[in-house]
Amino acid sequence: MTGTKQQIMTAHDIDRALSRIALQIVERNRNANNLAIVGIHTGGVFLAERVKQLIQARENVEVPIGSLDITLYRDDWSLASQSPIVKTTDLNFPVECCTLVLVDDVLFTGRTIRAALDAIMDFGRPMVIQLAVLVDRGGRELPIQPDFVGMHVNAEDSERVDVLLKEKGGVDEVVLESR
């Protein structure tokens, strides 16, 4: 049986939320000189690139960007698949010298973020790590909270929040699907 889908963010809503997040990042950190942006595969990588571009356009400063694969850092990876698909981690800057903004599309249990923190620490210890998410759907299993949020959604455990992005071959929108 197929569930119902409800659009909760349009392309315009996503653009506005990312613009607000980029502005809040710059305001909170006083400038962008020590910032680095890291997206978590897959959706977070595309959003991180957009946030980076917004900050660079606003502040006229080059912001390092990276991508992070957390597949083998997850505490449940063996339950998810016997043959996990590992993507690329690309951190071509010294993490010790920066305020690192970790970007993901949806924050749910907090397990992805916990795994991302473990993965980052294998590259060094940033001065500060902040978390930016497009959608915070609640339902935390770990004590992890975002610093920057595009939208809060009170989703039930039986519901799924999907961020569809043009970079992944779709149209920019966020949908809430009941299963």
One-letter amino acid identity for 156?
Answer: E
* Residue 176, CA distances (Å) to 10, 103, 136, 149, 168 in order: 12, 20, 12, 17, 18
Q: What pLDDT, on the 0 to 100 scale, is given for residue 32?
A: 85
Domains assigned to the chain = 12-158 (3.40.50.2020)
With a pLDDT cut of 70, the percent of the chain lying above it is 91
Band of pLDDT at residue 73, cut at 50, 70 and 90: confident
Question: Which carries the bigger pLDDT value, residue 85 or residue 65?
Answer: 65
With a pLDDT cut of 90, the percent of the chain lying above it is 80
**At residue 83, does pLDDT exceed 80?**
no
**At residue 117, does pLDDT exceed 90?**
yes
Alpha helices, H only, the chain: 11-28, 43-59, 77-80, 111-121
Band of pLDDT at residue 2, cut at 50, 70 and 90: low
**At residue 6, does pLDDT exceed 70?**
yes
Q: What is the mean pLDDT of the chain?
A: 91
Band of pLDDT at residue 84, cut at 50, 70 and 90: low
* Omega prior to 4 cis, within 30 of 0: no
The b-or-e profile of 98-123 (16+ CB within 10 A means b, else e) is bbbbbbbbbbbebbbbbbbbebbeeb
